[in-house]
Structure 1
Amino acid sequence: MLKLRLTRMGRTKRPTYRIAAMEALSKRDGKAVAYLGNYFPLEDSKVVLKEEEIIKYLTNGAQPTRTVKSILVKAGVWAKFEEAKKK
């Protein structure tokens, strides 16, 4: 099963994260199927997303973690996914 989750990057005490589609049982920083965006928590929570690819993975059954889901809700991608799911 695929999960949309964060992988940590950046140096010590300066984290940046990638939003990645990964197998559920893989390691946190393991091999990803696809990288779907970036999250910069120290820069006023700046987020860069590939919305179309994220919606594609969600419609195919990928499950986001709680943190990724909250990022998607704030960015408005989750609402677009819910709307696409109704069609």
Structure 2
Amino acid sequence: MVKIRLRRDGAKKKPFYHVVAADVRRARDGRFIEELGYYNPMVAADKEPIMELKEERLRYWLSVGALPTDKVAAILRKQGILPSA
């Protein structure tokens, strides 16, 4: 089964995440099928987190049955890719 999840990158205490489609049996930061964007939560307190998503590819993976993790689902709802729950 494929999940759309965050792969951690960046330095200690300064996370930067890549949004990836990966097999559930792989490690969090292990091999992935496709990179679908990035998410940078470490910005100034008065600004929104920086995120860039490949919307067309995300919709493809969702259409073939990939499940987003809770955090990714929240990001996708904020971007309008997933309907609000």
- TM-score, with structure 2 as normaliser: 0.89
1:49 aligns with 2:53: yes
Secondary structure of the residue aligned to 1:58 is helix
Aligned residues: 79
User: By percentage of residues, which structure has more helix?
Assistant: 1
TM-align CA RMSD: 0.8
Deviation of 1:13 (Å): 1.1
Question: Quick one: which amino acid aligns to residue 23 of structure 1?
Answer: D
Name 1:17's counterpart in structure 2. 17
Question: Quick one: which amino acid aligns to residue 79 of structure 2?
Answer: A
- TM-score, with structure 1 as normaliser: 0.87
Using the alignment, how far apart are the partners of 1:23 and 1:41 within structure 2?
24
Deviation per CA, 1:7-52: give whole Å up to 9, x if none.
Answer: 0000111110000000011100000000001000012311100000
Unaligned runs of at least 5 residues, structure 1: 80-87
The 10-residue stretch of structure 1 (5-14 or 38-47) with the greater mean CA deviation from structure 2: 38-47
Secondary structure of the residue aligned to 1:68 is helix
Identity of aligned residues (%): 39
